[in-house]
Structure 1
Amino acid sequence: MAADDRLEDDELARRLRDAHRRVRMLPAADKERSARRFLTICDLAKRDPERAAARLEVFLAALDELLPGPFDTPREGENTLGD
């Protein structure tokens, strides 16, 4: 694996982590469907990171509609760089 590929994987991992935090904040009515969709994207990321990144972008846009306003994780200050 080339060093450039590793950097792309790290970015995808950060975006997946962000999506996971956002799904957890959803109301119960939206959480189940969104969680299934998120898990599908995670599974795809193992086999095809480029397609997963594209699907994640669409998924994050849909989450923006469900959770309007600026997104901020409640424990953002507690996380160390890379978490």
Structure 2
Amino acid sequence: MERDSQLKLYGQVADRLKEAHTRVRALQVPEGVRMALSRKLLVITAAAKHDLPDAARRLDRLMKDLDEGRFPEGD
């Protein structure tokens, strides 16, 4: 049963990561900001391989920041 919930969470995180990548690509922000957001998404993707619940929490925070218009500073 635990494996089923893990697979379900993996599917949800994968779908949300796709959505996040699409949203980041569509943002009208300076390229440095877009790169910083892309790096965050890469970190979340890497975290999902080792700690799926933590990756889901990180992704939730990132999506909330996107919803509220809070973006990292670009280099």
Q: TM-score range by the shorter chain?
A: 0.7 to 0.9
Match of 1:64 in 2: 67
Q: CA offsets, 1:18-65, max 9 Å, x none?
A: 111111112341211111111111110111000000010100011112
**How many residues get paired?**
67
| Alpha-carbon shift at residue 17 of structure 1 (Å) | 0.8
Look up the SS of the partner of 1:27 in the other structure. Answer: coil
TM-score by length of 1: 0.71
Look up the SS of the partner of 2:18 in the other structure. Answer: helix
Coordinate RMSD, CA, aligned: 1.8
Larger relative contact order, structure 1 or 2 (CA cutoff 8 Å, min sep 6): 2
Q: Percent identity?
A: 33
- Which 5+ residue runs of structure 1 have no aligned equivalent? 68-83
Match of 1:21 in 2: 22
TM-score by length of 2: 0.78
Please give the alpha-carbon distance, in whole angstroms, between the structure 2 residues aligned to 1:35 and 1:66.
16
Please give the alpha-carbon distance, in whole angstroms, between the structure 1 residues aligned to 2:69 and 2:38.
13
Runs of 4+ in 1 over 3 A off after TM superposition: none
Match of 1:51 in 2: 54
Please give the alpha-carbon distance, in whole angstroms, between the structure 2 residues aligned to 1:4 and 1:20.
24
Give, as a single letter, the amino acid of the residue that structure 2 aligns with 1:14.
D
